[in-house]
Amino acid sequence: MNTFALSRGDRDKDRPDVAGFFDPRTFSIQYIVSDPATRHCAIIDPVLDYDEKSGATATHHADELLAYIEREELVVDWVLDTHPHADHFSAARYLHDKTGAPTATGQPVTQVQALWKAIYNWPALKDDGSQWDHLFDEGDAFKLGEIDCRVMHSPGHTLASITYVIGDAAFVHDTLFQPDFGTARADFPGGSAHQLWHSIQAILKLPDETRLFTGHDYMPDGREPTWESTVREQRETNKHRLGESSEVEYVELRNRRDSELPMPKLILHALQVNILGGRLPEPENNGKRYLKLPLDALKGAAWE
């Protein structure tokens, strides 16, 4: 199975190198995006390994990223999350501790924290986003080496979903999938198919040849995993007819499809880690860490 691909950039054209690392357990793609001229890089959506059957955690995938960074002699400027993930733990905090690079996500993460604070009955949780070193607002700009970067808020899949536009590359995570799979679900707490539609349309207004990098690939029809497309390809070939359907048609399709989907198996496990910026729960008096799983908290989802 293909679990790594490098999309080459161009040091003279504001075009970063993008290394994608596929995790078959969670169907997730982690990214290292780097400026070919300066060798400065950002890590996007790193995975902390977790086995729900044994409760074991590990850093195999995050360490693979660190090995690549060392091998390529890169300098880490940022550890970025696009949103609080529902299907894997974030390794952002682990990688911050290893590299010293600041962690960041979007300012609306505070809304997600407040929502899940109630679901977990977690009054002590700080819902001010202070678990990250930086929170990005819509339209914020920053540099990765010599490459211009900006932030787009892309709500719909979650309240806090954001898109990082880094040179000619946009990291859209769960807003769009590969064209043969469609688009993200919008039925998580705080999700909205209407918001998702407008977020997708904003992404499709980027230049046609913008490289789009998705956060998951589910390999329809048994094909090899892949995670890169372009704005033009998404507009013209996405199976959810993004270039021709109306908002009303899309929302009806999205809501119908979402009503048939079970919740991700790790959503209740992962959110209590990811709304802490990738921190595991603090050890209790016996030195062990524990997750809290509310019962009957996510009503209406289909059963597997």
Strands 141-144 and 103-106: unpaired
Going from N- to C-terminal start, the domains of the chain cover 4-274
Looking at residue 299, its pLDDT comes to 87
Angle formed by the axes of helices 247-258 and 193-203, to 10°? Answer: 120
Confidence of residue 218 (pLDDT cuts 50, 70, 90): very high
Chain centre to alpha carbon of residue 240:
21
**CA–CA gap between residue 304 and residue 288 (Å, rounded):** 31
Confidence of residue 12 (pLDDT cuts 50, 70, 90): confident
Q: By the 8 A CB rule, do 46 and 91 touch? A: yes
Looking at residue 106, its pLDDT comes to 98
| Fold held by 4-274 | Metallo-beta-lactamase; Chain A (3.60.15)
Residue labelled with tokens 């209590």? 272
**CA–CA gap between residue 175 and residue 194 (Å, rounded):** 12
**CA–CA gap between residue 261 and residue 256 (Å, rounded):** 9
What are the angstrom distances between the C-alpha of 58 and each of 39, 50, 265, 301?
Answer: 28, 6, 18, 30
Looking at residue 93, its pLDDT comes to 98
Q: What is the mean pLDDT of the chain?
A: 97
19: closest CA among 96, 36, 11? 36
Percent of the chain with pLDDT over 90: 97
Which amino acid makes up residue 10? Answer: D
Task: Measure the N-to-C terminal CA separation of the chain; round to a whole number of Å.
Answer: 26
Give 276-285 pLDDT, tens digit per residue: 999 999 999 9
Q: Which residues face 166 on adjacent strands?
A: 149, 169
What integer is the mean pLDDT of 39-50?
A: 98
Q: By the 8 A CB rule, do 284 and 292 touch? A: no
Which amino acid makes up residue 277? Answer: G
Q: At residue 75, does pLDDT exceed 90?
A: yes
Residue labelled with tokens 């070919």? 36
pTM: 0.98
What is the C-alpha radius of gyration for the chain, rounded to an integer number of angstroms?
18
Looking at residue 269, its pLDDT comes to 98
46: closest CA among 123, 98, 121? 98
What integer is the mean pLDDT of 209-216?
A: 98
- Per this entry, what is the length of the chain? 304
Buried b (16+ CB within 10 A) or exposed e, 202-238: ebbebeeebbbbbbbbebeeeeebbbbbbbeebbeeb
Chain centre to alpha carbon of residue 121:
25
Looking at residue 180, its pLDDT comes to 98
Q: At residue 13, does pLDDT exceed 90?
A: no
Give the tokens for residue 222: 């048994």
What DSSP letter does each residue of 214-240 carry, written as one string?
ESB---GGGPPP--EEEHHHHHHH-TT
Confidence of residue 211 (pLDDT cuts 50, 70, 90): very high
**CA–CA gap between residue 231 and residue 216 (Å, rounded):** 17
Percent of the chain with pLDDT over 70: 100
Q: Which residues fall within 8 angstroms of residue 232, CB to CB, at 6 or more apart?
A: 208, 209
Give 99-132 pLDDT, tens digit per residue: 999 999 999 999 999 999 999 999 999 999 999 9
Confidence of residue 17 (pLDDT cuts 50, 70, 90): very high
Looking at residue 191, its pLDDT comes to 97
